[in-house]
Structure 1
Amino acid sequence: MSKGAVNPVEHKHLLQIYEFITEMSDNGIRAIDIQGRPVVYNQKMKELEGLTNEEAEKRIAKEIIQFGMEESILQQVLQSGQSIKNQKKTFWNEKGQEITTIRNILPIENDGHILGVVEFARDISAQEFMMYQPLRRYGQPLMFETITAVSDVMRNVISTAKVAAANRIPVMLIGESGTGKDMIAEGIHHALSEPNSQFITLICRRDEATVIAQLEKYVTELSNITFFAERIEYLSMDAQEKIVKMLKQHEKKNHVFIASIGDDPIELISTGKLSKRLYYFFSTITIQIPSLRERKEDIMPFVVDYLSRLRQNVGCIVKGLEADVEQIFLSYDWPGNLKELEVLLDEIASLISTEEYITKDMLPIYFRWKTQEINPKDQHTDTDLFIVQSEKDLRPLDQYIREVEDYYILNALSFFKGNVSQTAKALGIKRQSLQYRMKRMKAVEEKEYSE
């Protein structure tokens, strides 16, 4: 055996280690080799795609690892050698569940040669569900002047939106959920060259027949209405075609039509989710709303504005964030965009009494756990998470005990690198009992985002 070579026993042990790491990951992982054959397809990826182990095995046997056109994305990276990073993807899996992931697709290289491609997919479905709630109106009309965005990209967005408002032309807004597409739509309404009497939002994720009936009623019976069709790609193709016909029939009613979609319109058209005729009707002006992770300079202005309104409405004296909290906010990638930030601030606001600055101990526990990845050195330093120093720290006993248990289990898992068997043995409980607790913790976090 040559020097430095791995003997068969060591090789087998290494494979077992790699398999364990892959299967224990919270990310969906799949990989193909240089011939495009699937070589890795972990349990989390099967769950995301709604596949049983048997169905997944059949898919692997046929060398099919993605749906339809998706297969070409891994091939694209294999051929180009160029990574695709932080790509957000929403799809319906085999169980009929709507899944949203943020994924990275990377070439596997060695000595300048590509050996294959690997995809890592992080499930953010719970956050995404929450983001469909619009940003709050603060009890007043939402105009462009109200939007606290300072980034160049958002200034360009607002500038383009003002052009659309001045000319009263249809607009298509494109962007992830929670980015504030509804804010831009309402801003257009209030900036119209000739004011409209009402701003009506059509939530296209709801019952399709109700949405069409609502639109038909207002379009035919009234004039000078601004309609905002939120996530119009969720309507069937038949419904989208009905809308096009309806809008063309009533062009003289002086309505203004705005629609939003969550993905690239060309891709939506090619996959049969967006009517080409509908897109052409709305696409006189298309405006891309960037995600918050692409314009982090807008985070602190949003926080400052939120706290200013909180002082006015509640009478507190909070001035801002401590430096370490601001650093966490600016480092976090905010998969739920502005809506996730707003919900987090709502939770923090419920704890504020006489504080002047928001400190790290005021951040919700689940958020501190998530952001430990940003500051790994802080992973085991939050020993005061459960110390009761004042009345505001008190909560129901069962909640307190559950939080302590969750914190203890998560730290134990980190000590054993995620090994469930070793952790369960150290804690003196059965492996199944630990797995139950882990599932319960995940379910609680998802519930936090969905409410």
Structure 2
Amino acid sequence: MSIHENILDICNQFAVDHATIGIHAVDHSGRTIVYNRKMKEIEGLNIEDIKDHSILELFNFDKIESTLLKVLQSGEPQLRVKQRYWNTNKVEITTMNDTYPIYEQQELIGAIEFAQDITALEKFVLQPLRKNRGKITFNQITAQSSAMKSVISTAEQAAAADLPVLLIGETGVGKDNLAEAIHYGSAGNERIFHTFHCLHADTDIIQQLEETLQQQPPMTLFCERIDALSISLQQALLYVLQKTPTHQFIASIGDDPVELIASGTLLKELYYFFASFAIRIPPLRKRPEDMIPCAESYLKIRVESLGTGLTKIDDQVKELLLAYDWPGNLRELELLLDEVSSMRTTEDTLTLDMLPLQFKMKVEAVANDASRPRDFIVQSDSKLLPFDQYLREAEKYYLQKAMKLHDHNITKTANSLGMSRQNLQYRLKKLKE
């Protein structure tokens, strides 16, 4: 390679790494070959996390939804496509993508995606319904299941005690709603409710938060997803909060705190600061009794806010809603209902034909996965996998199923399999090599 070619390669790599949009390129099998810094910021993953995995293993979406896989299958570009999905850290992401096929001598060898992060825009600008809902109280939170009734009971105690609160749960379970209900449930509370979003926080924003807490009258501060902060920023946040004890503090995390602390994702001292009341909100799939009431309640809110819309749900649709596992929880359910309702002006009942095709396909995929074991033993009528490869595939499949069953909690999964946490972590690590 000449000096000029070497300089050109360095410049190209520098441009990719410092671009203000996310860049993700994959080969023909869907495995990553380029993943720049901005894409890492958007998706919360490192190149080490993704280099040995296809994108279907990393993100919770079906083949029909992945713009990269669409391009690999069709060989045609996908331009200005909005994509919403949940990564392996269970963080919801919304991007606007331009995705192009990569050809070499007329042979499709991969695809490259340019992604603009519009998560914040979607959340705060394009959701007027949420803005117009008014204050959220305990009475507005659906709690038909015994699990959610217990959550509300503990939250009411927390509101009365006026102590720091930690909300634990997956993306979309309603941690923000419960935080607001705790705020309004405090007796004689005249404080304002302020949310501090930690997903894209930096040192400057934490300094601004410190100024706000020092200058403003007592408020309820909700620190959303403190586990998304780096450890150094968590230390800075803890220092700021300890200096301003006149406020009510609530925080949320997306996973079991023991697991987060053990993995170095959550600062132990910050956990202790918030853990006067630790409230776990179960995912929607663990409380099916709440599924249909939640959907009906949200449709009612839409009607009250917009003056028109669907008011009832057909029995066939109810069956479909109950058959799906809802990785995005209530947030994903609301997005589905928003999409369906926005297309209808006269009907009052949500029927099967109104549901988007991609949602029906996802439900079908879940049902097929639950009823049929993975066919990795026989590749065709006459071809068997080598025995070592079969054992590796079988172990990978079984461990993935066990992890999913226990919501990716290492400790619970290890206990159910009769092995130590260290042994399970070792096996999972080896399967990535």
Q: Say which SS state the counterpart of residue 373 (structure 1) adopts.
A: helix
Q: Are 1:351 and 2:313 an aligned pair?
A: no
- Asked whether the equivalents of residues 314 and 349 of structure 2 are also in contact (C-alpha less than 8 Å), the reply is yes
Is contact 2:92–2:328 with CA below 8 Å preserved after alignment?
A: no
SS at match of 1:195: coil
Alpha-carbon deviations, 1:177-206, whole Å to 9, x = none?
A: 000000111111101134142111111011
Checking the alignment, whether the CA contact within 8 Å between 2:168 and 2:278 is kept in structure 1 is yes
Cα separation, 1, equivalents of 2:303 and 2:357? 24
Q: Provide the secondary structure at the position in 2 that maps to 1:226.
A: strand
**SS across alignment from 1:158:** helix
Match for residue 260 of structure 2? 268
Tell me which amino acid in the other structure corresponds to 1:94.
I
Q: Select 1:153's aligned residue among 127, 143, 147.
A: 147
Residues 1:94 and 2:47 aligned together:
yes
Secondary structure of the 1:318 match is: coil
Name the CA distance, whole Å, in 2 between partners of 1:174 and 1:208.
23
The AA in structure 2 aligned to 1:260 is S
Matched residue SS, 1:206:
coil
* Unmatched segments (≥5 aa) in structure 1: 1-42, 53-89, 103-122, 377-417, 420-451
Q: How many angstroms does 1:225 deviate by? A: 0.8
Instruction: Tell me if the contact between 2:170 and 2:283 (Cα under 8 Å) persists in the aligned partners.
Output: yes
Shift in CA distance, 357/235, structure 1 to aligned 2, threshold 3 Å: same
CA-to-aligned-CA distance 1:42-67 (integer Å, 9 cap, x gap): x99984xx579xxxxxxxxxxxxxxx
CA contact (8 A) 1:167 1:193 kept: no
Q: Percent identity?
A: 38
Q: How many residues align?
A: 276
* Structure 2: distance between partners of 1:210 and 1:44: 41
User: Which of 233, 240, 245 lines up with 2:239 in the alignment?
Assistant: 245
Q: For residue 200 of structure 2, what is the amino acid of its counterpart? A: R
Instruction: Give the Cα–Cα distance (whole angstroms) in 2 for the partners of residues 143 and 248 of structure 1.
Output: 28
- 8 Å Cα contact 1:174/1:263 also seen in 2: yes
Q: 1:331 to 1:206 in 2, by over 3 A?
A: same
Contact (CA 8 Å) 2:155, 2:182: kept in 1 or not? yes
Contact 1:157 1:288 in 2 (8 A): yes
Q: Does 2:108 match 1:129?
A: no
Match of 1:109 in 2: none
Q: In 1, distance between residues paired with 2:30 and 2:359?
A: 27
Residues 340, 221 of structure 1: CA spacing in aligned structure 2 closer, same or farther, 3 A cutoff?
same
Give the structure 1 partner of residue 19 of structure 2: none
Q: Structure 1 residues 296 and 138, CA, compared in 2 at 3 Å: closer, same or farther?
A: farther
Taking structure 1 as reference, are residues 238 and 314 closer, same or farther at Cα in structure 2, changes over 3 Å only?
A: closer
Matched, 1:220 2:173: no
Q: Is the 8 A contact 2:86 2:93 kept in 1?
A: no
Q: Say whether residues 1:186 and 2:175 are aligned partners.
A: no
In 1, Cα distance between equivalents of 2:87 and 2:262: 24
Q: Once the 2 structures are TM-superposed, how far is the Cα of residue 375 of structure 1 from its aligned partner?
A: 6.2
Distance 2:294 2:267 in 1: 35
Aligned 8 A contact 1:189 1:196 in 2: no
- Does residue 297 in structure 1 map to residue 250 in structure 2? no
2-structure distance, mates of 1:45, 1:173: 39
TM-score of the pair, normalised by structure 1: 0.55
Q: Which range moves more in the overlay, 315-324 or 297-306? A: 315-324
- What are structure 2's unaligned runs of at least 5 residues? 1-26, 35-42, 61-84, 95-118, 369-378, 381-433
Superposed displacement of residue 353, structure 1? 2.2
Q: Secondary structure at the match of 1:372?
A: helix
Indicate conservation of the 8 Å contact 2:173/2:329, yes or no: yes
- The residue that corresponds to 1:139 in the other structure is 133
Q: Which amino acid aligns with 1:364?
A: P
1:258 aligned to 2:250? yes
The amino acid of 1:230's aligned partner reads E
3-state SS in 1 of match to 2:155: helix
Q: What are the superposed Cα offsets for residues 400-419 of structure 1, whole Å, 9 maximum, x if unpaired?
A: xxxxxxxxxxxxxxxxxx99
Whether the aligned pair in 2 keeps the contact of 1:196 and 1:226 (CA below 8 Å) is no
CA distance 1:137–1:305, shift in 2 (3 Å) = farther
What secondary structure is seen at the aligned counterpart in 2 of 1:201? strand
- How far residue 241 of structure 1 moved from its aligned partner, in angstroms, is 1.5
Shift of 1:312: 3.0
Would the aligned equivalents of 1:328 and 1:374 in 2 still touch at CA under 8 Å? no
Which amino acid in the other structure matches residue 142 of structure 2?
T
- SS in structure 1 at match of 2:47: coil
State the shift of 1:167 in Å.
0.9
Match of 2:316 in 1: 324
One-letter amino acid of the counterpart of residue 45, structure 2: W
1:290–1:375 Cα change, 3 Å = closer
Aligned to 1:342: 334
TM-score, scaled relative to structure 2: 0.57
Matched, 1:171 2:133: no
Q: CA deviation at 1:130?
A: 4.2
The amino acid that maps onto 1:268 is L
Comparing 92-101 with 357-366, greater Cα deviation is found at: 92-101
Distance (whole Å) between structure 1 residues aligned to residue 87 and residue 29 of structure 2: 14
Q: Over residues 352-401 of structure 1, what are the superposed CA-to-partner deviations in whole Å (9 max), with x where a residue is unaligned?
A: 2222311111111211222223567xxxxxxxxxxxxxxxxxxxxxxxxx
> 1:177/1:46 Cα in 2 relative to 1: closer, same or farther (>3 Å)?
same
Is structure 2 residue 214 aligned with structure 1 residue 207? Answer: no
Deviations, residues 321-344 of structure 1 (Å, cap 9, x unaligned): 111111000111001100000000
**Native 8 Å contact 1:100 1:124 kept in 2:** no
2:356 alignment partner AA: P
Q: What CA distance in whole angstroms lies between the structure 2 residues aligned with 1:260 and 1:138?
A: 23
Q: Is 2:276 aligned against 1:284?
A: yes
Give, in whole Å, the separation in 2 of the partners of 1:187 and 1:44.
49
Over the aligned positions, Cα root-mean-square deviation in angstroms equals 3.2
Q: Distance in 2 between matches of 1:298 and 1:44?
A: 42
